[in-house]
Amino acid sequence: MTPGRALPVPGPGETDGQDTPEAPWHRVHPVSPLVRGWIAVVAIAFVYGQNTLSSFFGEEEPNPGPDFISRTPLMVSLLVGAGILLLILLGFFGTWWFTKYQITERHVNVNTGMVFRQQRQARIDRVQSIDIAQPLVARIFGLAELRFDVADSGSAAMNLAFVKLSEAHQLRNEILARAAGLKAPAPQAPPLPAQPDAVPVTGQTPDPAAPQEAALEAPAPGYASASASLAASERVVAVVPTGRLIGSILLRPSTILMVLGIIGLGIAMSTIEGFAPFYLLPAFLGMAGALWNNLNTGYNFRAATSADGLRLSYGLLDTRHQTVPPGRVQAIKVTAPFFWRPLGWYRVAVNVAGIGGGAANDAEQRSVLLPVGSYEDVLAVLSVVLPAPGVAAPRDFFAAAINGSGTEGGFVVSPPRVRPLSPLAHKRQGYALTDTALVARNGALHRTIAIVPHARTQGLTLSQGPLARRFGVVDLSLATIAGPVVPLVHQLDVASGRELFLEQADRAAAARRQTDSNHWLGDA
Protein backbone atom coordinates (compact mmCIF):
# COMPACT_ATOMS: atom_id res chain seq x y z
CA MET A 1 0.00 0.00 0.00
CA THR A 2 1.36 3.37 -0.93
CA PRO A 3 1.67 5.90 1.90
CA GLY A 4 -0.72 8.82 1.57
CA ARG A 5 -3.21 6.72 -0.38
CA ALA A 6 -6.79 7.99 -0.22
CA LEU A 7 -9.62 5.56 0.32
CA PRO A 8 -12.04 5.11 -2.58
CA VAL A 9 -14.61 7.87 -2.87
CA PRO A 10 -18.07 7.36 -4.36
CA GLY A 11 -18.29 8.57 -7.88
CA PRO A 12 -20.82 11.14 -9.01
CA GLY A 13 -23.22 8.45 -10.11
CA GLU A 14 -22.96 6.21 -7.04
CA THR A 15 -25.31 6.24 -4.12
CA ASP A 16 -23.74 7.36 -0.89
CA GLY A 17 -23.42 4.55 1.66
CA GLN A 18 -23.30 1.75 -0.90
CA ASP A 19 -20.38 -0.63 -1.13
CA THR A 20 -17.99 -0.33 -4.01
CA PRO A 21 -17.27 -3.88 -5.16
CA GLU A 22 -14.32 -2.63 -7.19
CA ALA A 23 -12.58 -1.33 -4.06
CA PRO A 24 -8.99 -2.59 -4.28
CA TRP A 25 -7.48 -5.18 -1.97
CA HIS A 26 -4.23 -4.39 -0.18
CA ARG A 27 -1.59 -6.53 1.49
CA VAL A 28 0.00 -5.95 4.86
CA HIS A 29 3.72 -5.28 5.24
CA PRO A 30 5.93 -8.17 4.01
CA VAL A 31 7.71 -8.63 7.38
CA SER A 32 4.42 -9.01 9.26
CA PRO A 33 4.66 -12.84 9.57
CA LEU A 34 8.16 -12.48 11.05
CA VAL A 35 6.92 -9.94 13.61
CA ARG A 36 4.16 -12.35 14.66
CA GLY A 37 6.23 -15.52 14.68
CA TRP A 38 9.70 -14.40 15.69
CA ILE A 39 9.52 -16.25 19.00
CA ALA A 40 9.00 -19.59 17.25
CA VAL A 41 11.88 -18.89 14.85
CA VAL A 42 14.25 -18.03 17.68
CA ALA A 43 13.22 -21.11 19.67
CA ILE A 44 13.73 -23.49 16.73
CA ALA A 45 17.08 -21.90 15.82
CA PHE A 46 18.30 -22.10 19.42
CA VAL A 47 17.36 -25.74 19.98
CA TYR A 48 18.61 -26.96 16.61
CA GLY A 49 21.81 -24.92 16.74
CA GLN A 50 22.64 -25.98 20.28
CA ASN A 51 22.18 -29.67 19.57
CA THR A 52 24.09 -29.51 16.29
CA LEU A 53 27.10 -27.61 17.63
CA SER A 54 27.36 -29.66 20.81
CA SER A 55 27.33 -32.87 18.74
CA PHE A 56 30.26 -31.85 16.58
CA PHE A 57 32.40 -29.48 18.64
CA GLY A 58 31.71 -30.23 22.28
CA GLU A 59 34.14 -32.42 24.27
CA GLU A 60 31.21 -33.78 26.16
CA GLU A 61 27.60 -33.93 25.11
CA PRO A 62 25.55 -32.42 27.90
CA ASN A 63 22.41 -32.34 25.75
CA PRO A 64 22.81 -35.03 23.12
CA GLY A 65 20.66 -34.42 20.06
CA PRO A 66 18.71 -36.89 18.02
CA ASP A 67 20.59 -39.77 16.42
CA PHE A 68 20.09 -38.48 12.88
CA ILE A 69 22.09 -35.38 13.92
CA SER A 70 24.91 -37.04 15.86
CA ARG A 71 25.57 -39.68 13.18
CA THR A 72 25.56 -37.43 10.13
CA PRO A 73 28.28 -35.09 8.83
CA LEU A 74 28.24 -31.43 9.66
CA MET A 75 27.39 -30.38 6.10
CA VAL A 76 24.28 -32.57 6.10
CA SER A 77 23.10 -31.04 9.37
CA LEU A 78 23.63 -27.56 7.99
CA LEU A 79 21.67 -28.47 4.87
CA VAL A 80 18.86 -29.83 7.01
CA GLY A 81 18.87 -26.60 9.00
CA ALA A 82 18.81 -24.55 5.80
CA GLY A 83 15.87 -26.62 4.58
CA ILE A 84 13.96 -25.98 7.80
CA LEU A 85 14.71 -22.27 7.48
CA LEU A 86 13.52 -22.31 3.86
CA LEU A 87 10.26 -23.99 4.87
CA ILE A 88 9.70 -21.36 7.56
CA LEU A 89 10.34 -18.56 5.07
CA LEU A 90 7.97 -20.15 2.57
CA GLY A 91 5.34 -20.37 5.29
CA PHE A 92 5.86 -16.71 6.12
CA PHE A 93 5.61 -15.77 2.46
CA GLY A 94 2.38 -17.75 2.03
CA THR A 95 0.90 -16.18 5.14
CA TRP A 96 1.77 -12.72 3.86
CA TRP A 97 0.54 -13.44 0.32
CA PHE A 98 -2.89 -14.65 1.45
CA THR A 99 -3.46 -11.87 4.00
CA LYS A 100 -5.31 -9.02 2.34
CA TYR A 101 -7.67 -6.29 3.43
CA GLN A 102 -10.24 -4.11 1.71
CA ILE A 103 -12.02 -0.97 2.86
CA THR A 104 -15.32 -0.11 1.23
CA GLU A 105 -17.88 2.54 2.01
CA ARG A 106 -19.61 0.32 4.58
CA HIS A 107 -17.24 -2.49 5.55
CA VAL A 108 -13.69 -3.43 6.43
CA ASN A 109 -12.82 -6.89 5.06
CA VAL A 110 -9.78 -8.94 6.07
CA ASN A 111 -8.86 -12.23 4.38
CA THR A 112 -6.33 -14.51 6.09
CA GLY A 113 -5.15 -18.11 5.97
CA MET A 114 -3.09 -20.13 3.50
CA VAL A 115 -4.60 -23.58 4.03
CA PHE A 116 -7.74 -22.71 5.98
CA ARG A 117 -9.05 -19.45 4.53
CA GLN A 118 -10.94 -16.98 6.67
CA GLN A 119 -12.71 -13.77 5.74
CA ARG A 120 -13.75 -11.36 8.48
CA GLN A 121 -15.92 -8.32 7.94
CA ALA A 122 -16.76 -5.38 10.18
CA ARG A 123 -19.42 -2.79 9.48
CA ILE A 124 -17.86 0.65 9.64
CA ASP A 125 -20.90 2.25 11.24
CA ARG A 126 -20.68 -0.34 14.07
CA VAL A 127 -17.01 0.26 14.81
CA GLN A 128 -16.73 1.29 18.46
CA SER A 129 -13.05 2.15 18.58
CA ILE A 130 -9.78 1.46 16.80
CA ASP A 131 -6.49 0.88 18.58
CA ILE A 132 -3.03 1.21 17.13
CA ALA A 133 -0.76 -1.22 18.97
CA GLN A 134 3.01 -1.47 18.64
CA PRO A 135 4.62 -4.52 20.25
CA LEU A 136 8.35 -4.20 20.88
CA VAL A 137 9.45 -6.05 17.72
CA ALA A 138 6.96 -4.11 15.58
CA ARG A 139 8.42 -0.85 16.91
CA ILE A 140 11.85 -1.92 15.66
CA PHE A 141 10.47 -2.24 12.13
CA GLY A 142 8.29 0.89 12.42
CA LEU A 143 5.09 -1.15 12.08
CA ALA A 144 1.79 -1.09 13.92
CA GLU A 145 -1.32 -3.23 14.31
CA LEU A 146 -4.90 -1.96 13.92
CA ARG A 147 -7.39 -3.53 16.32
CA PHE A 148 -11.08 -3.01 15.64
CA ASP A 149 -13.77 -3.15 18.30
CA VAL A 150 -17.24 -3.71 16.90
CA ALA A 151 -20.51 -3.60 18.78
CA ASP A 152 -22.00 -6.98 19.70
CA SER A 153 -18.82 -8.81 18.72
CA GLY A 154 -18.01 -9.69 22.31
CA SER A 155 -14.30 -9.12 21.66
CA ALA A 156 -12.00 -7.43 19.21
CA ALA A 157 -13.68 -8.19 15.90
CA MET A 158 -10.46 -8.41 13.96
CA ASN A 159 -6.90 -7.24 13.71
CA LEU A 160 -4.95 -5.85 10.82
CA ALA A 161 -1.29 -6.70 11.43
CA PHE A 162 1.01 -5.14 10.44
CA VAL A 163 1.21 -1.93 8.41
CA LYS A 164 3.50 1.08 8.59
CA LEU A 165 2.78 3.35 11.54
CA SER A 166 1.93 6.33 9.34
CA GLU A 167 -0.48 4.21 7.32
CA ALA A 168 -2.08 2.91 10.51
CA HIS A 169 -2.76 6.46 11.70
CA GLN A 170 -4.21 7.40 8.32
CA LEU A 171 -6.45 4.33 8.16
CA ARG A 172 -7.69 4.90 11.71
CA ASN A 173 -8.57 8.53 11.00
CA GLU A 174 -10.36 7.69 7.78
CA ILE A 175 -12.36 4.78 9.18
CA LEU A 176 -13.38 6.73 12.28
CA ALA A 177 -14.37 9.65 10.08
CA ARG A 178 -16.71 7.33 8.20
CA ALA A 179 -17.98 5.70 11.40
CA ALA A 180 -18.72 9.15 12.82
CA GLY A 181 -20.89 10.00 9.84
CA LEU A 182 -18.43 12.35 8.24
CA LYS A 183 -19.39 12.85 4.64
CA ALA A 184 -16.78 13.00 1.95
CA PRO A 185 -16.90 16.25 0.02
CA ALA A 186 -18.23 15.95 -3.46
CA PRO A 187 -15.56 15.57 -6.13
CA GLN A 188 -14.61 18.87 -7.66
CA ALA A 189 -15.09 19.33 -11.36
CA PRO A 190 -11.76 19.37 -13.22
CA PRO A 191 -10.65 22.78 -14.42
CA LEU A 192 -11.72 23.69 -17.91
CA PRO A 193 -8.98 23.52 -20.52
CA ALA A 194 -7.62 26.79 -21.74
CA GLN A 195 -9.37 28.20 -24.78
CA PRO A 196 -7.20 28.23 -27.90
CA ASP A 197 -8.19 31.78 -28.65
CA ALA A 198 -7.69 33.04 -25.09
CA VAL A 199 -5.44 36.06 -24.85
CA PRO A 200 -2.33 35.27 -22.75
CA VAL A 201 -1.19 37.60 -20.06
CA THR A 202 1.47 39.94 -21.27
CA GLY A 203 4.94 38.52 -20.69
CA GLN A 204 3.76 34.91 -20.24
CA THR A 205 3.79 32.02 -22.64
CA PRO A 206 0.83 29.65 -22.61
CA ASP A 207 1.80 26.10 -21.53
CA PRO A 208 -0.45 23.33 -22.92
CA ALA A 209 0.51 21.00 -20.05
CA ALA A 210 -0.38 23.46 -17.30
CA PRO A 211 -4.04 22.32 -16.75
CA GLN A 212 -3.01 18.66 -16.42
CA GLU A 213 -0.21 19.45 -13.95
CA ALA A 214 -2.54 21.58 -11.86
CA ALA A 215 -5.05 18.73 -11.70
CA LEU A 216 -2.39 16.21 -10.58
CA GLU A 217 -1.06 18.47 -7.86
CA ALA A 218 -4.48 19.29 -6.46
CA PRO A 219 -5.24 17.54 -3.15
CA ALA A 220 -7.28 14.36 -3.50
CA PRO A 221 -10.90 14.94 -2.43
CA GLY A 222 -12.60 12.61 -0.03
CA TYR A 223 -11.92 11.19 3.41
CA ALA A 224 -8.17 11.76 3.23
CA SER A 225 -8.57 15.51 3.59
CA ALA A 226 -11.22 15.02 6.28
CA SER A 227 -9.00 12.67 8.26
CA ALA A 228 -6.09 15.07 7.91
CA SER A 229 -8.17 17.80 9.48
CA LEU A 230 -9.11 15.40 12.33
CA ALA A 231 -5.45 14.59 12.99
CA ALA A 232 -4.52 18.26 12.97
CA SER A 233 -7.22 19.09 15.54
CA GLU A 234 -5.64 16.88 18.26
CA ARG A 235 -4.98 18.72 21.54
CA VAL A 236 -3.47 17.21 24.69
CA VAL A 237 -5.75 17.56 27.74
CA ALA A 238 -4.10 15.31 30.35
CA VAL A 239 -0.63 13.84 30.96
CA VAL A 240 0.36 11.42 33.72
CA PRO A 241 3.90 12.08 35.06
CA THR A 242 5.99 9.01 35.88
CA GLY A 243 6.34 9.96 39.55
CA ARG A 244 2.58 10.26 39.99
CA LEU A 245 2.07 6.90 38.26
CA ILE A 246 4.57 5.11 40.52
CA GLY A 247 3.07 6.76 43.60
CA SER A 248 -0.45 5.71 42.60
CA ILE A 249 0.68 2.11 42.10
CA LEU A 250 2.33 1.97 45.50
CA LEU A 251 -0.74 3.50 47.18
CA ARG A 252 -3.23 1.07 45.68
CA PRO A 253 -5.01 -1.19 48.18
CA SER A 254 -3.94 -4.24 46.18
CA THR A 255 -0.27 -3.25 46.45
CA ILE A 256 -0.53 -2.57 50.18
CA LEU A 257 -2.27 -5.91 50.72
CA MET A 258 0.41 -7.75 48.73
CA VAL A 259 3.21 -6.15 50.77
CA LEU A 260 1.45 -6.93 54.04
CA GLY A 261 0.78 -10.48 52.86
CA ILE A 262 4.44 -11.10 52.00
CA ILE A 263 5.55 -9.67 55.34
CA GLY A 264 3.07 -11.88 57.18
CA LEU A 265 4.13 -14.90 55.14
CA GLY A 266 7.78 -14.21 55.91
CA ILE A 267 7.10 -13.92 59.63
CA ALA A 268 5.09 -17.14 59.62
CA MET A 269 7.68 -19.10 57.65
CA SER A 270 10.55 -17.82 59.81
CA THR A 271 9.20 -19.91 62.67
CA ILE A 272 9.77 -23.05 60.61
CA GLU A 273 13.11 -24.75 61.07
CA GLY A 274 15.34 -24.52 58.03
CA PHE A 275 13.51 -21.50 56.59
CA ALA A 276 15.44 -19.51 53.99
CA PRO A 277 14.39 -16.17 52.40
CA PHE A 278 14.78 -17.87 49.02
CA TYR A 279 11.44 -19.57 49.61
CA LEU A 280 9.71 -16.18 49.35
CA LEU A 281 11.01 -15.65 45.82
CA PRO A 282 7.78 -16.82 44.06
CA ALA A 283 5.74 -14.34 46.10
CA PHE A 284 8.17 -11.53 45.24
CA LEU A 285 8.05 -12.46 41.55
CA GLY A 286 4.25 -12.45 41.57
CA MET A 287 4.11 -9.02 43.18
CA ALA A 288 6.77 -7.67 40.83
CA GLY A 289 4.83 -8.93 37.83
CA ALA A 290 1.65 -7.19 38.93
CA LEU A 291 3.49 -3.92 39.61
CA TRP A 292 5.33 -4.13 36.31
CA ASN A 293 2.07 -4.65 34.39
CA ASN A 294 0.59 -1.49 35.94
CA LEU A 295 3.76 0.49 35.21
CA ASN A 296 4.06 -0.81 31.64
CA THR A 297 0.47 0.03 30.73
CA GLY A 298 0.37 3.44 32.42
CA TYR A 299 3.80 4.73 31.44
CA ASN A 300 3.88 7.90 29.34
CA PHE A 301 0.08 8.12 29.43
CA ARG A 302 -1.38 10.99 27.43
CA ALA A 303 -4.99 11.89 26.64
CA ALA A 304 -5.79 14.22 23.77
CA THR A 305 -9.04 15.50 22.37
CA SER A 306 -9.81 15.48 18.69
CA ALA A 307 -12.87 15.73 16.49
CA ASP A 308 -13.30 11.94 16.42
CA GLY A 309 -13.01 11.37 20.18
CA LEU A 310 -10.54 10.98 23.01
CA ARG A 311 -7.15 9.71 21.90
CA LEU A 312 -5.04 7.81 24.42
CA SER A 313 -1.35 6.94 24.11
CA TYR A 314 0.55 4.84 26.64
CA GLY A 315 3.00 1.99 27.10
CA LEU A 316 6.64 1.41 28.00
CA LEU A 317 7.67 -1.63 25.95
CA ASP A 318 4.43 -2.18 24.04
CA THR A 319 2.88 1.14 23.05
CA ARG A 320 -0.76 1.64 22.14
CA HIS A 321 -2.71 4.48 20.59
CA GLN A 322 -6.40 4.19 21.35
CA THR A 323 -9.33 6.32 20.21
CA VAL A 324 -12.57 6.35 22.19
CA PRO A 325 -15.39 8.09 20.29
CA PRO A 326 -17.75 9.98 22.60
CA GLY A 327 -20.78 8.50 20.84
CA ARG A 328 -19.72 4.97 21.84
CA VAL A 329 -19.30 5.52 25.60
CA GLN A 330 -22.09 3.73 27.50
CA ALA A 331 -21.17 4.58 31.10
CA ILE A 332 -18.42 6.44 32.98
CA LYS A 333 -16.92 5.84 36.42
CA VAL A 334 -14.78 8.24 38.44
CA THR A 335 -12.97 6.67 41.40
CA ALA A 336 -11.26 8.30 44.38
CA PRO A 337 -9.46 5.57 46.41
CA PHE A 338 -8.90 6.27 50.10
CA PHE A 339 -5.10 6.56 49.92
CA TRP A 340 -5.27 8.83 46.86
CA ARG A 341 -7.65 11.38 48.33
CA PRO A 342 -5.05 13.39 50.32
CA LEU A 343 -3.15 13.85 47.06
CA GLY A 344 -6.24 14.76 45.01
CA TRP A 345 -5.87 11.87 42.54
CA TYR A 346 -8.69 10.21 40.61
CA ARG A 347 -9.19 7.44 38.07
CA VAL A 348 -11.64 7.42 35.13
CA ALA A 349 -12.92 4.29 33.36
CA VAL A 350 -15.72 3.67 30.87
CA ASN A 351 -17.87 0.97 29.37
CA VAL A 352 -17.54 0.78 25.59
CA ALA A 353 -19.15 -1.91 23.46
CA GLY A 354 -16.70 -4.51 22.20
CA ILE A 355 -14.02 -3.80 24.80
CA GLY A 356 -15.56 -5.46 27.83
CA GLY A 357 -15.78 -8.88 26.19
CA GLY A 358 -12.05 -9.32 25.62
CA ALA A 359 -9.45 -10.87 27.91
CA ALA A 360 -9.80 -9.63 31.47
CA ASN A 361 -6.49 -7.77 31.73
CA ASP A 362 -6.70 -6.34 28.25
CA ALA A 363 -10.33 -5.21 28.69
CA GLU A 364 -9.53 -3.57 32.02
CA GLN A 365 -6.54 -1.78 30.58
CA ARG A 366 -8.40 -0.51 27.50
CA SER A 367 -11.36 0.70 29.55
CA VAL A 368 -9.23 3.22 31.47
CA LEU A 369 -9.39 6.79 30.19
CA LEU A 370 -7.24 8.24 32.98
CA PRO A 371 -5.19 5.92 35.26
CA VAL A 372 -4.43 8.68 37.77
CA GLY A 373 -5.06 12.40 37.42
CA SER A 374 -6.02 15.59 39.15
CA TYR A 375 -9.53 16.99 39.34
CA GLU A 376 -8.75 19.29 36.40
CA ASP A 377 -7.67 16.22 34.38
CA VAL A 378 -10.95 14.52 35.24
CA LEU A 379 -12.96 17.52 34.05
CA ALA A 380 -10.93 17.67 30.83
CA VAL A 381 -11.61 14.00 30.08
CA LEU A 382 -15.30 14.31 30.95
CA SER A 383 -15.62 17.29 28.62
CA VAL A 384 -14.76 14.94 25.74
CA VAL A 385 -16.69 11.76 26.58
CA LEU A 386 -19.60 13.65 28.16
CA PRO A 387 -19.69 16.88 26.16
CA ALA A 388 -23.18 17.84 27.39
CA PRO A 389 -23.34 17.19 31.18
CA GLY A 390 -26.78 18.83 31.38
CA VAL A 391 -26.06 21.11 34.35
CA ALA A 392 -25.46 24.84 34.53
CA ALA A 393 -22.26 24.59 36.63
CA PRO A 394 -20.47 21.32 35.78
CA ARG A 395 -17.40 22.07 37.93
CA ASP A 396 -19.40 22.54 41.13
CA PHE A 397 -21.73 19.67 40.33
CA PHE A 398 -18.97 17.08 39.81
CA ALA A 399 -17.11 18.36 42.88
CA ALA A 400 -20.24 17.63 44.92
CA ALA A 401 -20.61 14.27 43.18
CA ILE A 402 -17.06 13.08 43.86
CA ASN A 403 -16.27 14.57 47.26
CA GLY A 404 -19.58 15.92 48.58
CA SER A 405 -22.27 14.43 50.77
CA GLY A 406 -25.91 15.12 51.61
CA THR A 407 -28.22 16.82 49.14
CA GLU A 408 -25.59 19.23 47.89
CA GLY A 409 -25.65 19.38 44.10
CA GLY A 410 -29.23 18.14 43.89
CA PHE A 411 -28.52 14.59 45.10
CA VAL A 412 -31.20 12.37 46.58
CA VAL A 413 -29.57 10.25 49.31
CA SER A 414 -30.54 7.29 51.46
CA PRO A 415 -32.93 7.93 54.34
CA PRO A 416 -31.33 8.31 57.83
CA ARG A 417 -32.90 5.05 59.02
CA VAL A 418 -30.37 3.01 57.01
CA ARG A 419 -27.52 4.17 59.26
CA PRO A 420 -27.15 0.71 60.87
CA LEU A 421 -26.70 -0.80 57.39
CA SER A 422 -24.30 1.86 56.05
CA PRO A 423 -22.91 3.81 58.99
CA LEU A 424 -20.35 5.74 56.92
CA ALA A 425 -21.87 5.91 53.45
CA HIS A 426 -25.56 6.63 54.07
CA LYS A 427 -25.05 10.41 53.73
CA ARG A 428 -23.17 10.03 50.43
CA GLN A 429 -24.87 7.27 48.52
CA GLY A 430 -27.64 8.45 46.24
CA TYR A 431 -28.28 9.84 42.79
CA ALA A 432 -28.73 13.08 40.88
CA LEU A 433 -30.39 13.76 37.55
CA THR A 434 -29.13 16.15 34.93
CA ASP A 435 -30.74 16.95 31.61
CA THR A 436 -28.62 14.28 29.91
CA ALA A 437 -27.49 11.70 32.48
CA LEU A 438 -28.09 9.94 35.78
CA VAL A 439 -25.23 10.19 38.29
CA ALA A 440 -25.03 7.52 41.01
CA ARG A 441 -22.78 8.28 44.00
CA ASN A 442 -21.46 5.59 46.36
CA GLY A 443 -18.77 4.84 48.94
CA ALA A 444 -17.40 6.70 51.92
CA LEU A 445 -13.76 5.56 52.06
CA HIS A 446 -13.45 4.35 48.47
CA ARG A 447 -15.59 6.93 46.65
CA THR A 448 -17.07 6.35 43.22
CA ILE A 449 -19.56 7.98 40.91
CA ALA A 450 -21.16 6.27 37.92
CA ILE A 451 -22.52 8.39 35.07
CA VAL A 452 -25.01 6.86 32.64
CA PRO A 453 -26.35 9.05 29.83
CA HIS A 454 -30.13 8.75 29.55
CA ALA A 455 -29.83 7.58 25.94
CA ARG A 456 -27.48 4.72 27.00
CA THR A 457 -29.76 3.26 29.66
CA GLN A 458 -30.43 -0.32 28.55
CA GLY A 459 -32.72 -1.32 31.40
CA LEU A 460 -33.63 -0.82 35.07
CA THR A 461 -33.95 -3.24 37.97
CA LEU A 462 -35.36 -2.71 41.44
CA SER A 463 -34.16 -5.21 44.04
CA GLN A 464 -34.81 -5.62 47.75
CA GLY A 465 -33.36 -8.13 50.20
CA PRO A 466 -34.63 -9.14 53.64
CA LEU A 467 -32.74 -6.41 55.48
CA ALA A 468 -33.74 -3.82 52.87
CA ARG A 469 -37.41 -4.78 53.38
CA ARG A 470 -36.93 -4.37 57.12
CA PHE A 471 -35.60 -0.82 56.62
CA GLY A 472 -37.95 0.07 53.74
CA VAL A 473 -35.30 0.71 51.06
CA VAL A 474 -34.52 -0.66 47.59
CA ASP A 475 -31.52 -0.80 45.24
CA LEU A 476 -31.87 0.45 41.66
CA SER A 477 -29.41 -0.91 39.08
CA LEU A 478 -29.04 0.39 35.56
CA ALA A 479 -28.24 -2.16 32.86
CA THR A 480 -25.34 -1.43 30.57
CA ILE A 481 -22.85 -3.40 28.54
CA ALA A 482 -20.05 -5.41 30.15
CA GLY A 483 -17.27 -3.32 31.62
CA PRO A 484 -15.80 -1.87 34.80
CA VAL A 485 -18.78 0.43 35.41
CA VAL A 486 -21.68 -1.17 37.29
CA PRO A 487 -24.22 1.63 37.89
CA LEU A 488 -26.11 1.09 41.12
CA VAL A 489 -28.08 3.40 43.40
CA HIS A 490 -27.91 1.96 46.92
CA GLN A 491 -30.65 1.96 49.52
CA LEU A 492 -33.18 4.42 48.22
CA ASP A 493 -36.45 4.95 49.98
CA VAL A 494 -39.04 2.63 48.43
CA ALA A 495 -41.23 5.46 47.18
CA SER A 496 -38.24 7.35 45.74
CA GLY A 497 -36.94 4.18 44.12
CA ARG A 498 -40.24 3.40 42.41
CA GLU A 499 -40.60 6.98 41.21
CA LEU A 500 -37.07 6.96 39.76
CA PHE A 501 -37.68 3.54 38.18
CA LEU A 502 -40.75 4.77 36.25
CA GLU A 503 -39.46 8.20 35.31
CA GLN A 504 -36.00 7.03 34.24
CA ALA A 505 -37.51 4.54 31.81
CA ASP A 506 -39.44 7.36 30.12
CA ARG A 507 -36.38 9.61 30.08
CA ALA A 508 -34.25 6.87 28.49
CA ALA A 509 -36.84 6.18 25.79
CA ALA A 510 -37.21 9.88 24.95
CA ALA A 511 -33.41 10.39 24.83
CA ARG A 512 -32.88 7.40 22.54
CA ARG A 513 -35.43 8.77 20.08
CA GLN A 514 -33.45 12.01 19.85
CA THR A 515 -29.98 10.42 19.59
CA ASP A 516 -28.29 8.91 16.59
CA SER A 517 -26.15 6.16 18.14
CA ASN A 518 -24.33 5.42 14.92
CA HIS A 519 -23.07 8.87 13.97
CA TRP A 520 -21.67 11.47 16.34
CA LEU A 521 -20.29 14.00 13.89
CA GLY A 522 -22.10 16.11 11.40
CA ASP A 523 -21.27 16.41 7.79
CA ALA A 524 -17.82 17.74 7.11
> What span, in angstroms and rounded, lies between the C-alpha atoms of 403 and 497?
23
Instruction: Tell me the chain's radius of gyration from C-alpha atoms.
Output: 30
* Confidence (pLDDT) at 147: 84
Q: How confident is the model at residue 332 (pLDDT cuts 50, 70, 90)?
A: very high
> What span, in angstroms and rounded, lies between the C-alpha atoms of 185 and 162?
30
For 351-367, the pLDDT digits (tens) are 987 665 555 567 777 88
For 166-202, the pLDDT digits (tens) are 898 888 888 877 776 665 555 554 444 444 444 343 4
Strands across the sheet with 25-27, in order?
Answer: 25-27, 100-103, 107-112, 118-123
34 alpha carbon, distance to own chain's centre: 25
459 alpha carbon, distance to own chain's centre: 25
Phi, psi of 419 (to 5 degrees): -55, -40
> What span, in angstroms and rounded, lies between the C-alpha atoms of 191 and 475?
67
Classify each residue of 466-479 as buried b or exposed e, where b means 16 or more C-beta atoms within 10 Å of its C-beta: eebeebebbbbbbe
> What span, in angstroms and rounded, lies between the C-alpha atoms of 19 and 352?
27
pTM of the entire predicted model: 0.74
Please state the length of the chain: 524
* Confidence (pLDDT) at 333: 96
Q: Work out the average pLDDT over 335-343.
A: 93
Q: Work out the average pLDDT over 215-230.
A: 46
Phi, psi of 82 (to 5 degrees): -65, -35
CB 368 within 8 A of CB 377: no
Of the listed ranges 213-222, 224-233, 306-315, 473-482, the one predicted with least confidence? 213-222
CB 153 within 8 A of CB 354: yes
Beta bridge partners of 323: 130, 311
Question: In the chain, pLDDT over 70 holds for what percent of residues?
Answer: 76
Beta bridge partners of 449: 334, 441
> What span, in angstroms and rounded, lies between the C-alpha atoms of 300 and 315?
6
Would you say the C-alpha torsion 50, 51, 55, 58 has a positive or negative sign? positive
> What span, in angstroms and rounded, lies between the C-alpha atoms of 434 and 276?
60
Beta bridge partners of 119: 111
> What span, in angstroms and rounded, lies between the C-alpha atoms of 64 and 389?
70
Phi, psi of 497 (to 5 degrees): -65, -45
Name the nearest CA neighbour of 177 among 231, 141, 219, 136.
231
Sequence-distant (6+) residues with CB within 8 A of 287 are 255, 258, 259, 262
> What span, in angstroms and rounded, lies between the C-alpha atoms of 317 and 248?
20
Say yes or no to pLDDT of 94 above 70: yes
CB 431 within 8 A of CB 489: yes
317 alpha carbon, distance to own chain's centre: 17
